Amino acid sequence: MKDCNVLPDFKPGYIELQPIPKFQYQRTLADELQGNISREQALDLLALMQMVRCFEECIVDMKDGKWTPQEGFKFIGASHLSIGQEAVPAGALSCIEKTDLITSTHRGHGHGIAKGYFALRQMTGDELLDWMVKSGAPQADVNAARGETREQVLARAIDLHLFKTFAELFGKEEGYCRGRGGGMHIADFNVGHLGANAIVGGSFAIAVGAAMAAEKLDTGQVCICFVGDGAMNNGIGAEAMNFAAQDQFTKGCPVVFLVENNQYGMTGQQDKEVTGIDFLAQRAAGFARDNMHAEVVNGMDVLAVRDAIARAVECCRQGDGPVLVECETYRYYGHSLSDLRDTYRTKDEEACWKSQDAIDRYVDKLVDAGVASREALTQLLAEIKTRVQAAGVKAAVEGTDPETADMLEGLFSPNCCVEPDARWRTALEKEPRKVRRDKEGQIFVRQAVAEALIEEMQLDRRVILYGEDVADYGGAFQVTRGILDVFGRERVFNAPISEAAIVGTAVGAAAAGLRPVCELMYIDFILMAMDQVGNQAAKNRYMFGGKAEIPMVIRTTVGGGKGYAGQHSQSLEAVCTMIPGLKVVAPSTAYDVKGLLKSAIRDNNPVVFIEHQSIYTLKGVCPEEEFLVPIGQAAVRREGTDVTIVGYSMPILVAQEAAELAAQEGISCEVIDLRTLIPMDEATVLNSLKKTGRLVCVNQAPKTGCFAEHIVARMQEIGFEYFKGPAQIIAAYDCPPPMAATLEAEFQPNARRILEGIRKAVGATVTA
């Protein structure tokens, strides 16, 4: 980064850390009622806490057989409860705007209920009706609501909110995620709830990405990232916090890391067992000079939580994020209802925490402040319990089970080629310099990549580019060099060497309105990010009922032939193709690289875009005018009648050399470049197989478990009758890529090995 010099300074001294405040809140409810909170808001906090507790008590009762919403109903699914922790979601989400964002955790019923509840209470009558329509309310209910007062419509909306939460828990079509996610994966994008996550710490980077999108799109939103104490010990936590605190984010990253420390990560005790610190907030000192404004608050006091998060949110809105707030709280039940909690904690400990119960103590405060009598509050609590149970009964009785015929609905967005909107076009002081073509109209493949990126970034300012070393240096292969000069660091910037954070922030940024292109230097490194690739990017849309749009591209490279050995030369595309929800592209020519990359950026689905390092310096014809290559269409590179050769990326170029050698022996080969692995153009391959009856598949990955095996298996499944002999797979050896030149030359598919496969395919038929 040439913007600032890093100079040697070896003067002796000490690194001094700023103190982190803890339990500073000492105000009373009477104090808060003097302008900070209204009587109605004070009662709302109690109502919400009771709503969350009653919702989860229904789950306990159903598991114990004490209460069932209908005869014969059986509750299945996860039961990770937050009973005891209600003050945290109530206090935190009572002080944000309805448009603000949250990410949640597997113990997230309270977060979802609270986000919806407080967002609905901020809506106008028309906004409530609109939310009801978007949320799938029965038309009769919507029609009835049109003639009611705002308060009546609000009551309907809150009941619908509870119903949809129960319905998701029960796996019903009316649930927030159409029953695809269940209790651990609830989201409502209509109120900025970007989803709960069953992977501990899984949403850490997603929240940072969403906050980054809010800052870059200037929406004014803040993202509250709910994480548990266990997540603070996970690698993605460190990566995400470091990412959010980068100095190059001069406007700050508007994310609040809210650590809900209920003292146990499943059974591991945070204090005096699985960590070496007294408070998890101490970790903040390792990521930012200002400790990310960290503080520790009483998570059993709803007013203390509200005060801390209100200040944290304002800090973010002023451009001084990120912020970390640790809320000390307690879960009364175990990790799940099957957890024998007395094996790792004592009854005395539980009793001490229950003496600080958030609801009981807050009722005392309401009475002491003269907000309501104890009798009135007791009646309010009973009414809420009845209301919650009614929503559960309605969900069980009226909810419908999803149809098995709809199993795949929502996996991919149908918006796979979004036309650029003139509103998002980038206004540049001068047009980027065009790449000079040779007399045949050819450019290098690496230039085709850069040209595609520049064109799409110019067409849509929501497209950003980041990754390891992509800015000043232009990436490890100089592919993106010069793009920073065109768009500046707001759009092109280096990321820390944090592959999980790179991909995870892209997921969050895409969900919040950007169209990120993130780069992983080598596909070998994707294994560092596989949770974010496989459990987040790939599953987000389907898991949340087909409602999320995740328009992101993961650019990465495969290699070989350079002696880089086992951790810089692998071909791991099959790792990605086996995960539903990802599109996987692997082009071989300059034309296809540019056209497919542009299509990938315009696709509203996550795309893994694989570039082979060995083709960067190859030339190919690539028009200057606008063009796209559709994802999912193969190209017939050579027509033939005897053998069908199928491959992609660099190996298909080698296969064409082998086809030429085969032609000299009188064997006519048809060569098909898949270009896209997922979705695969099965029709083109099958039509060729019908003509030739013989199949040779080529790829650079080790043979066992490679994508070529999938091609063969699929063709055997849909075209068995057309085979005249066994299919052949030409792949790498079943070992890591070796460094030695002699071994590496043999390890990869070469023209000789492919020709041998062609001969075997034909010879097998002749012998038969």
Strand duo 669-673 + 635-638: pairing: antiparallel
Q: Where are the alpha helices (DSSP H) in 570-725?
A: 573-577, 590-602, 649-663, 682-692, 707-719
150-163: b (≥16 Cβ within 10 Å) or e? eeebbbbbbbbbbb
List all residues 6 or more positions away from 70 whose beta carbon is below 8 Å from its beta carbon. Answer: 393, 396, 397
Whether 193 is catalytic: no
DSSP per-residue string spanning 386-437: HHHHHHHHHHHHH--PPPGGGTTTTSS-S--SPPPPGGG----SSPPPPPPP
| Calpha distance 328→344 (Å, rounded) | 19
Cα–Cα distance between 47 and 380 in angstroms, integer? Answer: 8
CB 583 within 8 A of CB 613: no
Six-digit token pair at 551? 């328009």
β-bridge mates for residue 324, sequence order: 257
> Please, is 718 exposed, middle or buried when counting C-beta atoms within 10 Å of its C-beta (0-12, 13-18, 19+)?
middle
The whole-angstrom separation of Cα 678 and Cα 672 is: 15
Left, alpha or beta for 611 (phi > 0: left; psi -120 to 50: alpha)?
A: beta
Catalytic choice (80, 161, 568, 612)? 568
- For strand 264-265 and strand 295-298, is the pairing parallel, antiparallel, or unpaired? unpaired
Q: Is the peptide bond before 322 cis (omega within 30 degrees of 0)?
A: yes
**DSSP-derived 3-state class of residue 20:** coil
> Which are the contacts of 653, defined by CB distance < 8 A and separation ≥ 6?
588, 615, 618
Measured CA to CA, the distance from residue 453 to residue 517 in angstroms comes to 9
Pairing of strands 695-702, 728-732: parallel
Burial class (CB within 10 angstroms; exposed 0-12, middle 13-18, buried 19+) of 492: buried
Compute the half-sphere exposure of residue 552: CA atoms within 13 Å on the CB side of its CA. Answer: 36
C-alpha pair distances (Å), 386 with each of 29, 116, 163, 296: 27, 19, 13, 35
For residue 229, the tally of other CB atoms under 10 A from its CB is: 25
Strands 223-228 and 295-298, bridge-based pairing:
unpaired
Contacts 24+ apart (CB under 8 A), 13-22: 17/285, 17/291, 18/285, 18/289, 18/290, 18/291, 20/279, 20/281, 20/282, 20/284, 20/285, 20/291, 20/294, 20/295, 20/296, 21/295, 21/296, 22/279, 22/281, 22/295, 22/296, 22/297
Greatest Cα-to-Cα distance within the chain, rounded to the nearest angstrom: 98
User: What whole-number distance in Å separates Cα of residue 384 and Cα of residue 45?
Assistant: 13
Question: Which residues form the catalytic set?
Answer: 568
